[in-house]
Structure 1
Amino acid sequence: ALLMAFGCLMAPVWAFANGSGVLWKMLTAPGLMMVFALTILATGSRAGLLVGVLAVVIGFVLTWRRIRHVLHRAPGWVFPTLIAGVIAAMAIVVLLSVAADRAVSIDRVMAMDAGQDMRHRGLPTVIEMIRSYFPVGSGLGGFDPLFRMHEPFALLKPTYFNHAHNDFLEIVLDTGLVGLLLLITAIIWWGWASVRVWRDQGDRVVLLARLGSAMILLVLLASLFDYPARTPTMMALLVVAAVWLAKGANRAAEVETADDLGFTARRHTSIAVDAR
């Protein structure tokens, strides 16, 4: 589901990455987003619904300036009508999926009982385990047997609890204080770099950097309920997203430095002229 949410982010960026947009890409992107949305519904992932909706919204935010640029010669009503049409089409497709009993994610949300959800029931045990092993940590890769050592009788069942389903907590459990500090450092870097690229007015590099920032945001949100970053595909995509974000942040920093130097030079010149 998170992979399909990435698709909802990437489709509009792919269509408008070169600025003006290509007609066949502009027509294909909304169709791709609908396919990705339907796939998210079919996965049965409840967290996927959250990141999927957020991805669609951010995808439009990433490219709305470029869409407006493409439609700058069209009447003013064309742009909001186009956006409303795309949203309406996606809503109709989702409703058809629900009517056809293919929206498993929505079905699971409607049938959800927080008291019976293992994520909720196992959380107190996970927190108690963190307290027991902090600050050293329990070691990487041992959550399954470790949880069975601490599992209360009330949680016993035929299936097993393979991960904490909150990767932030599991990282702290596995790696202790060192992992917590690394995690905080990574999130601070993501926040700092994201602020830089979202403030910058730039070209394709900035657009890809914003895309990378949004992809990491979706992973962080999904990690509150699952453990997506522990899978090889997500690891690889996280690296790509981080490279895009770092490149855009460095570009924004260089532009800010050049602007500061230019301002300083103009100020010194003005002072010299006044002195004369």
Structure 2
Amino acid sequence: MAGIKENWVTGVGFGNFQKAYQIYEKEEMIFRAYVNHAHNEYLELAFEGGVIAAILMALYLFLLLIAFTKIRRDALQKTAFLSVVFLLVHSLADYPLRTAALAMTFAYMNAIIFHRGFAECRNQSPELVEVDHNGDKLFVPVGASP
């Protein structure tokens, strides 16, 4: 926290956590093993990126909340939202997004959540084609999903 307070404007630079943390590490915290990441993604990003990173994180969380209010019936978007929330909660006590597989999953789930095509498909009425059936004229939807 002292490092964040001291470098709140610009941060220490992305990728510099390990070296910068050593400056603020207290003597009783030094053991044989060294610290390479904070066990809190948010604090590490704020430490490395400063106020701009903190603002971007807050903006993302706000946009995620807005996207959640727009998710109504689509089960895939609901599942993606729950997956993202799980990773965000996990980020409070560990650094899961530093793992390539989880970072890609996180990005993919965000793409599903923020994809506008789901809502547009639901709002569009299907194209109707006039068909002659046993002397009657019917209008049949083309390309409609069930």
Sort the TM-score into its range (normalised by shorter chain).
0.7 to 0.9
Aligned-residue sequence identity (percent) comes to 22
Q: 1:162 and 2:36 equivalent?
A: yes
> TM-score w.r.t. structure 2 length?
0.78
Aligned partner of residue 130 in structure 1, secondary structure: helix
Partner of 1:134: 8
Gaps of 5+ in 1: 1-126, 259-276
Aligned partner of residue 138 in structure 1, secondary structure: coil
Task: Output the aligned Cα RMSD.
Answer: 2.0
- Per the TM alignment, residue 251 of structure 1 is displaced from its structure 2 partner at its CA by 3.1
Task: Judge conservation of contact 1:137–1:175 (CA < 8 Å) in 2.
Answer: yes
- Among 217, 223, 226, the alignment partner of 2:85 is 217
Task: Judge conservation of contact 1:196–1:253 (CA < 8 Å) in 2.
Answer: no
User: CA separation in 2, counterparts of 1:131 and 1:256?
Assistant: 48
Q: 1:239 and 2:110 equivalent?
A: no
- Per the TM alignment, residue 232 of structure 1 is displaced from its structure 2 partner at its CA by 1.0
Q: 1:144 and 2:12 equivalent?
A: no
* Distance change in 2, residues 1:179/1:163 (3 Å): same
- Per the TM alignment, residue 154 of structure 1 is displaced from its structure 2 partner at its CA by 1.1
Aligned partner of residue 84 in structure 2, secondary structure: helix
* Distance change in 2, residues 1:244/1:130 (3 Å): same
AA of the residue aligned to 1:232: A
Gaps of 5+ in 2: 126-146
Alignment of 1:60-99 (within 5 A): none
- Per the TM alignment, residue 142 of structure 1 is displaced from its structure 2 partner at its CA by 1.2
- Per the TM alignment, residue 252 of structure 1 is displaced from its structure 2 partner at its CA by 3.3
- Among 52, 57, 75, the alignment partner of 1:207 is 75
> What are the Cα deviations for residues 64-89 of structure 1, in whole angstroms up to 9, with x where unaligned?
xxxxxxxxxxxxxxxxxxxxxxxxxx
Alignment of 1:92-107 (within 5 A): none
Higher helix share: 1
Higher strand share: 2
- Per the TM alignment, residue 128 of structure 1 is displaced from its structure 2 partner at its CA by 0.7
AA of the residue aligned to 1:170: E
Partner of 2:119: 252
User: CA separation in 2, counterparts of 1:138 and 1:250?
Assistant: 39
Partner of 1:229: 97
- Per the TM alignment, residue 256 of structure 1 is displaced from its structure 2 partner at its CA by 6.8
> TM-score w.r.t. structure 1 length?
0.42
- Among 47, 52, 55, the alignment partner of 1:181 is 55
User: CA separation in 2, counterparts of 1:159 and 1:134?
Assistant: 27
User: CA separation in 1, counterparts of 2:87 and 2:120?
Assistant: 25
AA of the residue aligned to 1:236: M
> What are the Cα deviations for residues 172-208 of structure 1, in whole angstroms up to 9, with x where unaligned?
11111111111111111111112211xx23xxxx111
* Distance change in 2, residues 1:186/1:257 (3 Å): farther
User: CA separation in 1, counterparts of 2:24 and 2:47?
Assistant: 13
User: CA separation in 1, counterparts of 2:87 and 2:14?
Assistant: 20
* Distance change in 2, residues 1:131/1:256 (3 Å): farther
> What are the Cα deviations for residues 123-182 of structure 1, in whole angstroms up to 9, with x where unaligned?
xxxx11100111111001111111112211111111111111111111111111111111
Count residues with an aligned counterpart.
125
User: CA separation in 2, counterparts of 1:187 and 1:194?
Assistant: 10
User: CA separation in 2, counterparts of 1:244 and 1:173?
Assistant: 30
